[in-house]
């Protein structure tokens, strides 16, 4: 009938569903996953690695900060070239404790050498110009004796017994050597002879010096630096302590001469006749270095 609707006309056809495409490599699903991963990475900014330039900048900033800290702890009278190479030690706990300990000792006792002479051995020559190392024991504990170079005393203090024995050996070992009439070994130190004591300071009139905490560790650092950074250094190790301290020296890289200490208690057991001074000059010549003028005092 015209105008009449059939029963079926009241029901509309269900909408046709679009078939989704199967995810394929590189398809929409993979692209979506990549976008999500990128977004997650962006949110977690710390996951991105630093560039080489950033790493280097951080390293330099850290190094500069440590250098500033070390500068605040540089001991009085410490030589510039030695400071540049050893400054990293000054801010370490053991060294700061050592300096604090010595400062407290000075408040209560007379301590030698004076504060401005403790590190005289770093003032005489550049650290890279060291050619000979003599390791002493304790600083002298009499007035005006110790001045930061082992075995040495300043004018007009008479040379102590160990130094007199050194002069006796020199007079038989080095041609034209004569007793200088004083005990100041600065002339050797300026030529590259490192005169380093095993103990930093001593109390006045104390027969056996106390060994400050940390000093042995620092002397190990000094010897280690010379051992690793220089070539052809002659180490003159007199006595058991010096020989123990020199046990780590690379003997293929450097030269080691050993004998007893020149103290009156041991000098006749091998120091006299050791000829260490002439032997040292022979070794320096073989290494292409200028020998020491042992007479220049």
Residues belonging to the active site: 138
Neighbours of 221 (CB within 10 A): 15
Give the pair of three-digit tokens for residue 31.
């692209």
Torsion sign (Cα): 140, 145, 147, 150: negative
CA contacts within 13 A on the Cβ side of 55: 5
Are residues 271 and 161 in contact, defined by beta-carbon separation less than 8 angstroms?
no
Are residues 89 and 221 in contact, defined by beta-carbon separation less than 8 angstroms?
yes
Alpha helix segments (H runs only) across the chain? 28-43, 52-72, 80-86, 93-108, 161-173, 186-189, 215-229, 240-245, 276-286
């Amino acid at each position: 009938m015209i105008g009449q609707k059939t029963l079926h006309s009241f029901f509309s056809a269900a909408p046709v569903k679009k078939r989704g495409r199967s995810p394929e490599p590189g398809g929409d699903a993979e692209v979506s996953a990549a976008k999500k991963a990128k977004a997650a990475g962006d949110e977690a900014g710390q996951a991105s690695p630093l560039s080489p330039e950033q790493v280097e900048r951080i390293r330099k900033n850290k190094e500069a900060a440590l250098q500033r800290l070390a500068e605040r702890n540089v001991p009085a009278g410490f030589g510039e070239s030695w400071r540049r190479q050893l400054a990293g030690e000054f801010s370490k706990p053991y060294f700061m404790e050592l300096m604090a300990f010595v400062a407290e000792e000075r408040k209560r006792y007379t301590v030698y050498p004076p504060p401005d002479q403790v590190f005289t051995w770093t003032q005489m020559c550049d650290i890279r110009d060291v050619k000979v190392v003599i390791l002493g024991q304790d600083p002298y504990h009499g007035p005006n004796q110790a001045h930061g170079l082992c075995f040495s005393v300043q004018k007009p203090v008479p040379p102590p017994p160990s130094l007199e024995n050194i002069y006796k050996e020199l007079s038989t070992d080095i041609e034209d050597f004569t007793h200088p009439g004083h005990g100041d070994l600065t002339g050797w130190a300026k030529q590259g002879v490192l005169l380093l004591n095993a103990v930093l300071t001593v109390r006045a009139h104390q027969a056996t010096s106390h060994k400050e905490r940390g000093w042995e560790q620092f002397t190990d650092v000094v010897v280690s630096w010379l051992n690793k950074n220089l070539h052809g250094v002659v180490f003159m190790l007199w006595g058991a302590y010096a020989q123990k301290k020199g046990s780590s020296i690379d003997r293929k890289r450097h030269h080691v001469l050993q004998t007893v200490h020149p103290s009156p208690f041991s000098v006749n057991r091998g120091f006299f006749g050791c000829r260490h001074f002439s032997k040292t000059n022979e070794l320096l010549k073989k290494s292409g270095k200028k020998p020491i003028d042992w007479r220049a005092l």
